[in-house]
Chains A and B, each alone.
Chain A
Amino acid sequence: SLNLGTNFEHLEKLRNRSTYVARSCKEIIDRYNEHEDGLYFLTTANGMVYQTFCDMTTAGGGWTLVASVHENSIYGRCTVGDRWSSQQGNNANLPDGDGNWSNRNTFGAAEGATSDDFKNPGYYDIMAEDISVWHVPNNVPLEHWNLAAILRYHTETHFLRLYGGNLFQMFMQYPVRYNVGSPGNRGPAIPIVYDHGDKESTKNLYGPNPRGEFEPGFITFRAINNERAAMAICSGVKPVRAYNTEHYCIGGGGYFLTDQCGDFPSFDWDRLGREQGWS
Chain B
Amino acid sequence: ASKEMTEAAVLLFYR
Which residues of A pack against B, CB within 8 Å? 24-26, 55, 62-71, 74, 113-115, 122, 126, 128-138, 145, 149-150, 154, 160, 166-167, 204-207, 210, 233, 235, 247-248, 250, 264, 267-268, 279
Contacts and interface: CB of A to CB of B under 8 A. Distances in A.
Nearest to A122: B14
A264 B4 CA distance: 13
A167 B10 CA distance: 15
Interface string B1-15: 110111111111111
Contact of A67 (B5, B7, B12, B15): B12
A164 B2 CA distance: 34
B6 to A, nearest CB: 5
A163 to B, nearest CB: 12
Contacts of A63: 13-15
Contacts of A160: 14
A206 B4 CA distance: 10
A134 B13 contact: yes
A133 B8 contact: no
A138 B1 contact: no
A128 B15 CA distance: 5
A126 B13 CA distance: 11
Given A150-B4, A206-B2, A233 B13 contact: no
A65 B1 contact: no
Interface of B: 1-2, 4-15
B9 to A, nearest CB: 4
Given A247-B1, A248-B1, A267-B1, A132 B15 contact: yes
Top 6 closest A-B pairs, CB basis? A128-B14, A63-B13, A132-B13, A267-B1, A70-B9, A134-B11
Contacts of B1: 205-207, 210, 247-248, 264, 267-268, 279
A151 to B, nearest CB: 8
Nearest to A29: B15
Contacts of A70: 9-10
Given A205-B1, A206-B1, A207-B1, A130 B15 contact: yes
B7 to A, nearest CB: 5
A26 B15 contact: yes
B11 A133 contact: yes
18 contacts: A64-B13, A68-B9, A69-B12, A113-B9, A122-B14, A126-B14, A128-B15, A130-B14, A132-B15, A134-B11, A135-B8, A138-B9, A150-B8, A160-B14, A206-B1, A206-B2, A250-B10, A267-B6
